[in-house]
Amino acid sequence: MSRRPFIALLLGLALLLTALPLGAQTPDETTIVIAQTVDVGALEPALVNSRAESNIFNHMFATVYEISEQGTLEPHLANSYSISEDGTEWTFTLNEGLTCHDGEALTAEDVAYSFNRAKDPANAFTGNTSGFVFPSIGFIEARADSELEVTIVTDRPQSEAVRLGLISEVYVHCMDYYSSISLEEAAENPVGSGPYRFVEWIRDDYVLIEKVPGYTLRDPFFEKIYWRVIPEASTRTAELIAGNVDVIANVPPDQVDAINNSGTATVKAVQGTRRMYVGYQFGEAFANEPGAEAIAKTEVRVALQYAVDVPTICTQLLGTECERAASMVNPPNGNPALEPYPYDPAKAEELLDAAGYPRGENGVRFEITLQGPRGRYLNDANVVLAIGQYLSDVGVQTNVEILDWSSEYVPRIREKNVGPLFFLGTGGATWAALYDMADLSAPDAGTNYTNWNNAEWFELWDQTAGKSPEEERELINQMLEIMYNDPPWLFLYFQPDFYGVSNRLEWTPRRDEQIGVLSATLQ
Amino acid sequence: MGTYITRRLLQSIIVILGVTLLAFFSLHLGGDPTYLYVSERASEQEIIETRQKLGFDRPLHEQYLSFVVGLARLDLGDSLRARKPALDLVFERLPATLELTLFAMILSTLIALPIGIIAAMRRGSPLDGGIMLVAMFGQSVPGFWLGLMLILSVGLGLRWLPISGHVPVLQPLFTGDFAAAIGNVPEAIRHLIMPGLTIGVFSLSRNARLVRSSMLEVLSQDYVTTARSKGLAERVVITRHALRNALLPVVTLLGLEFGFLLSGVVVTETVFSWPGVGRLVFNAINQRDIPLVLASVVSFSFLFIILNLIVDVLYVQLDPRIRLK
């Protein structure tokens, strides 16, 4: 081959490139583009399992009450509710003139249908509503009492805030449409009840929704929302800096400077509601593990609280400043009298000596294993290694084991087969302290991963149902004090969340890991 | 030839069964997938119910047998997350992956052939040295890193090409929307260049080196010397006499190449947010959506086997010296 055809080929390619329009597509003034790491599994809210999914459905499907951007509970489809005397029946009064996206009127029948549909075993839904919300509120059935009144029947009284918060997670479907199609069709062609309606879904690429004209309960600024799926963090950052995306979630700490220096976007960090902690395993299966006997002692568990320098972990490994948690409850709902344990290794050593675990000749008090996941929480593996080192520094020889999240850690956690020390983060909320405390609602609760069994705590827990807010507050403060002094967790921090936000946007991220842009506007 | 193909297809069934057996049991090694499908706060009772709903309460061999029976009927079950036949999901995503791999293959072949030939013809020259140096770099650079560098330099720095995303061509073509398919071509190419280069750069470099060495070997053959001594123009000697023989090893490689490129799409599709089968498999593995992983594995294996078969047949056509036994 002579040189000519090769040069011609190169020239051809170059011409083709220059002939094509340059520059990526940037969103116009009526469109907002949000990039998340994963796609929805299906367009069926009853199958929602992840935050990425609920973020989209929150814009497409309305709920009777809602969790506002400030984290409070506000009326939405309903304007009020009343509770039966025995506390088991909750009756919501809906606003008048509501409609579904297909134009049908939205009435109490639709709300009752949505709740019962999610519960129906024939539908075999595995989402948040059937798998978590309903068992947590003791849901029995929903019934339409009149056109605008719907009653949720439960098997027990419960804290008002907790129940209302959980009901606020149940999406309202429109009966006429959903009862006429198969589950498979429903999973591809949603007809919603919220301020945005479905337009297009290209799997693993984007979901496009557009504003519903005449939606009376909200009037968002943007006409269209693109929910793009960009799994790779560097790619999300590049798209944000290039101006093709307005909001990105999960900015890694090492990319914060690049975004802040770009001139097109900035990173907004918020203290999230996810509680990060090191659990102390009390399970019988661990009784003979090294270190298990030591951490069974309250004094040792308290001592270790002083050994870990949480603020330094935050600044060095998470790239932000954060305060140490004083309890499992998100601020400002915690017990105001409790101060977070300070970093004081000398005090930790003193308490360990007093607890009967002096340093041996080799400087070691006792050995223990700390297990943690990789790839689930912000910089998780490094945080676990740092904690291991802090504990070793006070003479507790800590062997760190890092396990893969989905294949190893999740099954072990769920089987309570992790420890004797383990690193974990569980989701919380700002709308109720009891919701945060529900991780430890019973000694055998699914989320009591430590098998902690403090009789006083669980006695008080049982007393919380159906109390007035003031009485409830008192019980909460007592319980949190019990936990502070007999900790099942080594309290760490509330995981910070980092959002990359385009400078053209006026938007404040929420604390509860939800991305809501109903109040977002252009600068 | 017919018997040969039939025999190969029968062998393929055994291969596919072997692959599914490995995939099936290795997926179950990592514990109970039910936990990934229930809420963080689900109770023991809900976990048991979900396990039943998903069918994981049955003995493993029973689950595998029903999978094999389904496979014979081309029914690989529904994806656990998407509630849709797993095979449909794979076919939905296959066009995007085919676009990427075919583009990478064409790109790497189109560039590798001329530069390999030029390097051979200029053997020992600085040009040859330069080409081989770049080729070695191309073979050793990780695709993940290269993709990110392309994004940062070409996508973000120069703003010449889109950073991520996909514009479909094959999908509308399959559905008969020819106007959309043709209309999408320019934008599709712009989106294809960076991911195409990322997965194709290894093949490109390897092919360039292979073409060079193959050409060098052929150029030293007697029949080339004879052709030259007949006074034929160098262009004719190269294109008519040397090239055809030099390409034989490259053709063999192309079949394997496609499989290699397919295995590279998982990372590349993730970096460039390309909605293909690679991403589908990646997510399915993470969520241990077992029917979906198996459907993808079976489809990939089948595609790979068919491609190899085509290459084998093509090889015989290209080189009559090879006879089937």
Return averaged pLDDT per consecutive 10 residues of chain A, 523 residues in all. Answer: 53 52 66 93 87 93 94 95 94 96 95 96 86 88 97 93 94 96 92 96 93 93 96 94 94 91 95 95 93 96 97 93 92 95 97 96 96 91 97 97 87 89 93 92 87 95 88 96 97 95 96 92 93
pLDDT of residue A360: 95
Residue B73: phi and psi, rounded to 5, are -100, 10
Distance CA B301, CA B21 (A): 13
Q: A521-522 and A505-506 as β-strands: parallel, antiparallel, unpaired?
A: antiparallel
The packing angle between helices B86-121 and B178-219, to 10°, is 40
Mind listing the pLDDT tens digit for each residue in B62-104? 989 988 899 888 888 888 888 789 999 999 999 999 999 999 9
B160/A2 touch (CB, cutoff 8 Å), yes or no: no
A20/B148 touch (CB, cutoff 8 Å), yes or no: no
A126/B53 touch (CB, cutoff 8 Å), yes or no: yes
B270/A231 touch (CB, cutoff 8 Å), yes or no: yes
pLDDT of residue A7: 57
Which chain A positions have a beta carbon within 8 Å of B29's beta carbon? 407
A410/B166 touch (CB, cutoff 8 Å), yes or no: no
pLDDT of residue B43: 75
**Mapping DSSP to helix (H, G, I), strand (E, B) and coil, where does residue A361 land?**
coil
How large is the average pLDDT for residues B296-300?
Answer: 88
Q: How far is B117 from chain A (nearest CA, A)?
A: 7
Distance CA A435, CA A162 (A): 6
B89/A203 touch (CB, cutoff 8 Å), yes or no: yes
pLDDT of residue A311: 96
**Whether the bond into A27 is cis, omega within 30 of 0:** no
Which chain B positions have a beta carbon within 8 Å of A254's beta carbon? none
Sorted by sequence, the CB contacts under 8 Å of residue A397 that are 6+ apart come out as A364, A365, A366, A367, A368
Distance CA B150, CA A397 (A): 45
DSSP notation for B224-254: HHHHHHTT--HHHIIIIIIHHHHTHHHHHHH
Which chain A positions have a beta carbon within 8 Å of B155's beta carbon? 24, 238, 242
For residues A140 and A84, the answer to whether their CB atoms sit within 8 Å is: no
**Whether the bond into A332 is cis, omega within 30 of 0:** yes
Query: What is the pTM (predicted TM-score) of this model?
Result: 0.86
What stretches of A243-327 show up as alpha helix (H) in DSSP? 256-260, 292-295, 298-305, 310-313
Which chain B positions have a beta carbon within 8 Å of A447's beta carbon? 40-41
B275/A234 touch (CB, cutoff 8 Å), yes or no: no
Asked if residue B316 has pLDDT above 80, the reply is: no
Which chain B positions have a beta carbon within 8 Å of A170's beta carbon? none
B41/A19 touch (CB, cutoff 8 Å), yes or no: no
A42/B162 touch (CB, cutoff 8 Å), yes or no: no
- Say which of B39, B110, B165 has its CB closest to residue A128: B39
pLDDT of residue A193: 96
pLDDT of residue A106: 96
Mind listing the pLDDT tens digit for each residue in B207-258? 899 999 998 988 888 888 888 888 888 888 887 788 878 887 777 777 777 7
B83/A6 touch (CB, cutoff 8 Å), yes or no: no
Which chain A positions have a beta carbon within 8 Å of B91's beta carbon? none
Q: How far is B288 from chain A (nearest CA, A)?
A: 8
- Say which of A235, A426, A438 has its CB closest to residue B272: A235
Q: Which residue has the tokens 């129940």?
A: A163
Confidence of residue B325 (pLDDT cuts 50, 70, 90): very low
Q: How far is A242 from chain B (nearest CA, A)?
A: 6
- Least confident residue range of A433-442, B3-12, B92-101, B140-149: B3-12
Q: Give ipTM to 2 decimals.
A: 0.84
